[in-house]
Amino acid sequence: MPKTADFTIGLPWLRVGLLAVLLLLVHLMVKGNRDYDLPPHEFAYGALLDSIDELPAAIDQFLSAPELDPSKTRLETCLGMNSSEDLRPLIRYTRELASRKPEVRPLVDSLIGVEQMSDQRQQAIKLVEALNPFRDMMRDEPHQDEVIVFITYGIKRPERLTPSAREQIGELVRRLDTPEQANQFNCSACPDE
């Protein structure tokens, strides 16, 4: 990952963490087990949703958090070993699927509309809204790891965070990163600069 002057939480663990959070979220939704005692920021740990239809609103709520920098939200599509910072691989994959399953054709049109959106937060929300009605038609468990869409995000620079948020995030940086990176964050510099 290229180094930038902005703190984007582009650390290698972020993508793994985001994927784990999304997988946990789906797992919890499928199980419907309400025996978990979740902290106040449930979505970051995989909130229980009454319906998968609530997922777009939950993503909107999460991506609208005041600590996040909206300019850092990005979609990345991985198809096999290739990745792209847009939805074109997913659109190609869906077109191929529509040639075998014509009932998926409306999804192709929806994805093309989503791809043309400039607001990445809205694009992420609309992507989930577009995919949701077709989830059963697109289910292909033997090939489920071939197409993955990551929604990445980044927090604001440390000096632009509220003192409370800066303290909480600084504690995470201290626990999860090197002492040097924690010191950089606490001095308003970004790790990986």
Q: Which of 118-127, 130-139, 148-157, 172-181 has the highest mean pLDDT?
A: 118-127
Q: Is residue 191 part of a domain?
A: no
As a whole number of angstroms, the distance between CA 172 and CA 8 comes to: 14
Q: Is residue 85 within 8 Å of 76, Cβ to Cβ?
A: yes
One domain, residues 43 and 94: no
Mapped onto helix, strand or coil, the DSSP state of residue 84 is: strand
- Which structural domain, as residue segments, surrounds residue 91? 74-152
Q: Is residue 131 part of a domain?
A: yes
Q: Is residue 134 part of a domain?
A: yes
Q: What is the mean pLDDT of residues 146-160?
A: 86
One domain, residues 25 and 51: yes
One domain, residues 134 and 107: yes
One domain, residues 147 and 113: yes
Q: Each residue of 40-83: pLDDT tens digit?
A: 444 444 557 788 888 899 889 889 888 889 998 999 998 888 88
Q: Is residue 172 part of a domain?
A: yes
Helices (H) and strands (E) in the chain, counts: 9, 3
The predicted pLDDT at position 18 comes to: 52
One domain, residues 148 and 115: yes
The per-residue pLDDT of the chain, averaged, comes to 76
The predicted pLDDT at position 42 comes to: 40
The predicted pLDDT at position 165 comes to: 85
One domain, residues 32 and 17: yes
One domain, residues 141 and 175: no
Q: Is residue 49 part of a domain?
A: yes
One domain, residues 162 and 92: no
- Number of independent structural domains in the chain: 2
0.75 cut: is pTM over it?
no
User: In the predicted model, is pLDDT for residue 164 greater than 70?
Assistant: yes
Q: Each residue of 101-134: pLDDT tens digit?
A: 999 999 999 999 999 999 999 999 999 999 999 9
The predicted pLDDT at position 5 comes to: 41
Q: Is residue 31 part of a domain?
A: yes
Token code pair at residue 80: 């096999």
More confident residue, 112 or 144: 112
Q: Is residue 192 part of a domain?
A: no
One domain, residues 5 and 54: yes
The predicted pLDDT at position 30 comes to: 43
One domain, residues 144 and 79: yes
